[in-house]
Amino acid sequence: MATRKRLIVDKKEGEITRSERSSANRQAQEVLKKAKEQAGSVVHITISEKITIELSAHLSQQEIDERIEKYHRLHHK
């Protein structure tokens, strides 16, 4: 019991607990899920064997090409 109290007291200001972190992760996943639902239909564009990006289906081919080019510019320096 004394050990448990010491652990709580030793917690530095601003640190988050495991349960707080789990809660934040769940909230972030819910926000992402809602955003995907609102986005409507999507297309998956394969950049490489391991990388696929998700774009709105309503984008024109030119907009898709611009997004792919931007991805390469930002991630393949």
Is 56 part of a structural domain of the chain? yes
Give me the tens of pLDDT residue by residue for the chain, a chain 77 residues long.
555 555 555 666 777 777 888 888 899 899 888 887 776 788 899 988 999 998 988 889 999 999 999 999 998 76
Check residue 21 and give its pLDDT.
Answer: 80
- Residue 4 belongs to a domain: no
Q: In total, how many domains does the chain have?
A: 1
What's the confidence (pLDDT) of residue 62? 96
| pLDDT of 11 | 62
Is 53 contained in some domain? yes
Task: Report d(CA 66, CA 60) in Å as an integer.
Answer: 10
Is 7 a member of any domain? Answer: no
The tally of CA atoms less than 13 A away on the side-chain side of residue 24 is 6
In a domain? residue 11: no
Domain annotation covers residue 35: no
Q: Is residue 18 part of a domain?
A: no
The answer to the question of residue 34 being in a domain is no
Cα–Cα distance between 66 and 64 in angstroms, integer?
5
Residue 63: give the domain boundaries: 41-77
